[in-house]
Amino acid sequence: MLIMKCLLPACLLLALAGCAQNNQHSDSYVHAKVDSIVGVRMEEINRQAMEDLDQRMSIEVQQKADSILAARQAARRGPDSTAAAKTR
């Protein structure tokens, strides 16, 4: 039992010292690791953003086009119809 009380803390200290030396990475290694992780995530974010853009464009472009066409038709009809179109 006495051996366990002395041996266990010594082993823990050696293990922690060994881990501390292995965890010191160079700056270039850390930057490379971060770049690889961020690169993969950025591709996913860009893909999702493009999908969202396509969905929104199909909805919003049609509304804007209808609005522009209505404004042009109202302009062709004359100034009186423009006021009537705005009150709708």
Looking at residues 21-32, what average pLDDT do you find?
Answer: 76
Chain mean pLDDT for the chain: 78
Residue 62 has pLDDT above 80, yes or no: yes
Q: For the chain, what are the domain ranges?
A: 2-87
List all residues 6 or more positions away from 81 whose beta carbon is below 8 Å from its beta carbon: 74
Looking at residues 58-67, what average pLDDT do you find?
Answer: 89
What are phi and psi for residue 35, nearest 5 degrees? -60, -40
Looking at residue 55, its pLDDT comes to 92
Nearest to 85, CA basis, from 47, 50, 74: 74
Q: Angle at CA 84, nearest 5°, toward 78 and 88?
A: 140
User: What's this model's pTM, rounded to 2 decimal places?
Assistant: 0.43
